[in-house]
Amino acid sequence: MNNIEVKTQPYSDQRPGTSGLRKKVAVFQQENYLENFIQSIFDSLEGYQGKTLVVGGDGRYYNRHAVQVILRMAAANGFGRILVGRGGLLSTPAVSCIIRKYQAFGGIVLSASHNPAGPDGDFGIKYNIGNGGPAPEKITEAIYRKSQQIQHYRIADCGELDLDTPGEQQLGSMHIEIIDPVSDYAELMQHLFDFDRIHSLINSGLFSMRFDAMHAVTGPYAVEILENRLGVTPDALMNAEPKEDFGGGHPDPNLVYAKQLVDALFAANAPDFGAASDGDGDRNMILGHRCFITPSDSLAVLAANAHLTPGYHRGLAGIARSMPTSQAADRVAERLGIELFETPTGWKFFGNLLDAGKVTLCGEESFGTGSDHVREKDGLWAVLFWLNLLAVRKESVQEIITAHWRSYGRNYYSRHDYEAVNADGAGQLMDTLRKANGSLTGNRYGDYEVAFCDDFSYTDPVDGSVSEHQGIRIGFTDGSRMVFRLSGTGTEGATLRLYLERYEPDPERQLLDAQDGLSELIRIGEDIARIRHYTQREAPSVIT
């Protein structure tokens, strides 16, 4: 086998976002585009020669080709060993699990998460560091700088490698091991949760459930864990076969894109429990019989009940949530006497807190929840956590959330997404709000008076790094608030997100539909930001 150097030229658009580099497949198919970015990752790292790299992705279109390229480039750049999920498949939390278990140098995750797939869809690449978590900004910025200077890339001159046969292969001096994508992760889940108790619940004849894998990577994980180990019947698993185009669907587990599951759970003869995961397996949606649990409430419920599970029975060190996530978990942290950390959006911000032992559970409103077991959010983990609680408490999902609200109060909460809007208009909206920060304080809008308005900035309590311009917050004197952010996960135009929150302590007023409970705040948010004017949209694309 020969290693060759191929001359190339930089592409100007290879700056990683909050979750790596995401572009249309056609962009990655440009000459040397994929190779440039992979070489830029390797060029930004030090001390990896002879070390182990983990590689896998969500199975979307272009996944297998990218794995082949990465293996050949890793060999040419001096890695000693590669662990690859069979067929090129690994969920994002499984990559983190494997990096940590085998003390790998790092890993490359191939995914555009919850974005659509196929030849006309999206593709993405993310580098994870040795703790199993997403690369911090200092590394992603180094990758970008290297991508702007690149003149050549190194690659092994060889044919296609076998990605489907378990076992070891040799590529020059580099060992390649094709591993079961599920087994290490399933073993970790069995350690954290009471599988015997969950198995008894599922096989009691008194409980039914549905899990929607959305034709994405969690299909094989659901079959092995939920069906083979916990006894769920095959008909309870929906869309469990991974497909390169996710079956033509949008693998985002929310009330709009997981409509098939939502319809099943809100039918007259609905199952007791429903859940879905996304393209790469790191997000989750939790449903009960005619009952939707917001991700913010889910984090709070898990934190309040963590002592009921084997993995967390000793208590929590702390809780972290992203700034736009509701303050429901704050009330749990206060009662437990533990610290609550508010971070910018992006799972990488939880990494330092987890590594320092400051937090045990963390979550984002964007359907992501996780803990210190890995350094990524973890969809199936959250599903198993809920199943463990249902098995122990012997109550329905609705009964658990209603009891939680009675005890802690309810944070009415919703997110309104305006997807693929004109980027210039969305940018002008944010700039206008930013300039109005000082002048909004004291203004009255109906029953609400503005207490503060700021552009959220975060100083990491572990390393002192500062992240600015993380979202415009408008807080009101009664504790209600709204947040405006531009999302960095899309590949077309811009996505404007409006987050709305109102606290309700009175149990008699806690059972409204969220949109009804927030109706006045929704109107105020649209008026303050002039959303229709700047987006040319009459309504959000998605409401969750």
Q: Which three-class secondary structure string do you get for 144-207?
A: HHHHHHCCEEEEEECCCCCCCCCEEEEECCEEEEEECCCHHHHHHHHHHCCHHHHHHHHCCCCC
Second CATH level (architecture) for the domain 410-543: 2-Layer Sandwich (3.30)
**Banded pLDDT at 509 (limits 50, 70, 90):** very high
Second CATH level (architecture) for the domain 185-408: 3-Layer(aba) Sandwich (3.40)
Q: What is the mean pLDDT of the chain?
A: 95
Dihedral angle at the C-alpha atoms of 315, 320, 325, 331, nearest 10 degrees?
A: 50
Average pLDDT over residues 423-442: 91
What residue has token string 């409103």? Answer: 365
The pLDDT value recorded for residue 130 is 97
Distance CA 484, CA 498 (A): 5
Residue ranges covered by each domain of the chain: 2-181, 185-408, 410-543
Active site residue 414: no
Second CATH level (architecture) for the domain 2-181: 3-Layer(aba) Sandwich (3.40)
Average pLDDT over residues 313-325: 97
Average pLDDT over residues 100-108: 98
Q: Which of 19, 113, 298, 326 is catalytic?
A: 113
Q: What is the pLDDT of residues 457-470, one digit of tens each?
A: 999 999 998 989 99
Q: What is the pLDDT of residues 290-307, one digit of tens each?
A: 999 999 999 999 999 999
What residue has token string 């559970």? Answer: 361
Same fold, 185-408 and 410-543: no
